[in-house]
Amino acid sequence: MHKFVVYYLMLLSSFVGNTNHTLPNNFTFDAEAQNSTVSCELCKDIVTIVDYELTKSNETINDIEKIIGRVCSMLRLKSQREECYDIDKMIDEIKNMIIGGLDRKEICYKMGFCNK
């Protein structure tokens, strides 16, 4: 599980009042794994969250931007935070591509975060 998703779950647990969420015991962060695949995975995680919030939670784009922004602020590495904020600025384009039927890998490829 990517740490971005874990942060997202932890953030949501505070909204719903469930504070029993903890990081899994096997959750580790490998600093050597910081490469282009991290950018791709981060992008796909954000697209997945945007898709879920749009289709399942029926949130507005402004609400989704706030959620993603708060989760981005939790990332420890400055490079990942900045990348996350860059993706967050593209929420409208992401929304339009989701509505257009693209999957998360295609969206992140078009945005330049993933290789084909």
Give residue-wise pLDDT tens across range 34-70.
445 678 888 998 898 888 888 887 778 888 888 888 8
Q: What region does 79 belong to: left with phi over 0, alpha with psi -120 to 50, or beta?
A: alpha
Q: Give the whole-angstrom CA distance, residue 34 versus residue 48.
A: 21
Cα–chain center distance at 82: 13
The model scores a pTM over 0.75: no
Give residue-wise pLDDT tens across range 5-43.
666 666 654 544 433 334 444 444 444 344 456 788 889
